[in-house]
Structure 1
């Protein structure tokens, strides 16, 4: 696992946006695994700028998103389909037919199976973008005594619900279930890139980069098994966990 320490989160996002740009320029029909939440928003802004400047062409790219809430439609302003459209897809030259975000409505188990099919369709993702939860969860693979390899429904922990409550009018509105890629799906990507910032992530990042322990109580530690995993953090976070390059 490679750790890159930047001077700021803006630099972190620039580093990752450049990784994605270089991949797509080298492989115009690349398959990207994408993430939602606050972490990737500045990365997507930089990709939009690059696309508008003619530095990268997304017209042949395919994408599959990590997860989606159960119980809210794609038109809901807190759904991950809405998030991806408004934060990236509406602003770049991607064919939305080549983008996939699991449906959060109807038969959740069937929707999880469809996500699993999309993960496998056309082969593994060339790059999987990840954030990390305060408890080390990756996508909605929550800290637990076990993890699931394939796409599935997941009951969200109180910690995750609390972390996501800021996006809703009130905590009671936060969905308590989600559809998510499994850890096996994530680890199947050819390259995995995780971005993190903020002192709330210290325990999770410390467990990820400071020792050789792999535990389901910090799902991010599974990335230690990946042959091409990159963790990009800023100096503030690196100092807080005691990491020295």
Structure 2
């Protein structure tokens, strides 16, 4: 079962989602959860509005646990947070962060690792303590150990207060790709051939390109007290509609967010062009 303080129309999460044999099941296909949609003019405005949500969390709870994401979409959000930090408006000294995922086989020093990305775009530019920044250990070859250890880290910090998510073109969140089921906990995934091919340009040879990654599972994401999804661009319009207004299905992993009681979608007009 999933245990949380949240409820949806009087039904607690443990009545909606349950885990059996390592698989997360949805007990209802539609329960009418309304996503809080924040419309932005463009990417810059989206980034500012998303940063406002995160900064409010930090101000209201200085020792909060932030779930963070990589990719191109949140870069503007991180830039705005750094700007406000430099203006003495934010203090990250007590904040703890846990990231969604990391490539298996890459060290933190590798410029293609997600730790390097986070350090480059955020960690090195604010006063968050290094020991308070957490990602799956990409250098751990034992997948069961790496995943189990990361779940223990998230549990030890008390769970996630606010989880930031991007939205993939196919509805993936983290490396939770379209599948026949929702996987609840941190797990190792085989990267798709298209992802490996797209990443090859960043490495000297094909053999150096990561073939697997560690990612948070859906249960971990759903247990976050709040979820913030950032989306930009007309090319994401169809998946925004499918994820937040279509059926709940593991073939669109983000659709499970319809069951979360506190989701904010910050998206620009282009990404929301199919939403009336």
Check 1:90–1:72 CA distance in 2 against 1; reply closer, same or farther (3 A cut).
same
Q: Note the 1:146-185 alignment, pairs <5 A.
A: 146-161=181-196, 164-165=198-199, 168-169=202-203, 172=206, 173-185=208-220
Q: Which moved more, 1:151-160 or 1:111-120?
A: 151-160
Gap change, CA 1:189 and 1:221, over 3 Å in 2: same
Which residue of structure 2 aligns with residue 33 of structure 1? 67
Please, which of 51, 55, 68 is the counterpart of residue 85 of structure 2?
A: 51
Q: Does 1:79 align with 2:118?
A: no
Aligned residue for 1:57, secondary structure, equals coil
Match of residue 116 from structure 1: 151
Q: After superposition, give the CA deviation of every residue in 1:96-136 in whole Å (9 maximum; x if it has no partner).
A: 11110111113232111111112212322110000011111
Label 1:2 to 1:161 Cα distance change in 2 as closer, same or farther (>3 A): farther
Tell me what 2:45 maps to: 11
> 1:243 corresponds to which residue?
275
Whole-Å separation in 2 of the counterparts to 1:103 and 1:124: 18
Task: Establish whether residue 20 from structure 1 lines up as the match of residue 54 from structure 2.
Answer: yes
Name the SS for the 1:238 alignment partner: coil
Quote how far apart the aligned CAs of 1:171 are: 8.7
Report if aligned partners of 2:103, 2:114 keep a CA contact under 8 Å in 1: yes
Structure 2 Cα separation of the partners of residues 75 and 55 of structure 1: 30
Query: Is contact 1:127-1:192 (8 Å) kept?
Result: yes
Q: Shift in Å at residue 92 of structure 1?
A: 0.2
Shift of 1:167: 6.7
Q: Return the structure number with greater helix share.
A: 1
- Structure 1 residue 203: Cα displacement: 3.1
| Shift in Å, 1:71 | 1.3
Residue by residue, what CA displacement relative to the aligned partner does 1:23-69 show, whole Å, maximum 9, x if unpaired? 11111101100001111111111111111111110000001001000
Superposed displacement of residue 210, structure 1: 2.9
Distance 2:205 2:249 in 1: 29
1:169-192 superposed Cα distances (whole Å, 9 cap, x missing partner)? 479354221000000000000000
Equivalent residues in 2 for 1:196-207, closer than 5 Å = 196-207=231-242
Tell me if the contact between 2:235 and 2:271 (Cα under 8 Å) persists in the aligned partners.
Answer: no
Q: What is the SS of the residue equivalent to 1:25?
A: helix
Matched, 1:191 2:223: no
Aligned residues: 240
Q: Where does the alignment leave 5 or more consecutive residues of structure 1 unmatched?
A: none
Preserved CA contact (<8 Å) 1:142 1:157: no
Paired with 1:157 and 1:109, the residues of 2 have a C-alpha distance of 21
Distance (whole Å) between structure 2 residues aligned to residue 171 and residue 23 of structure 1:
42
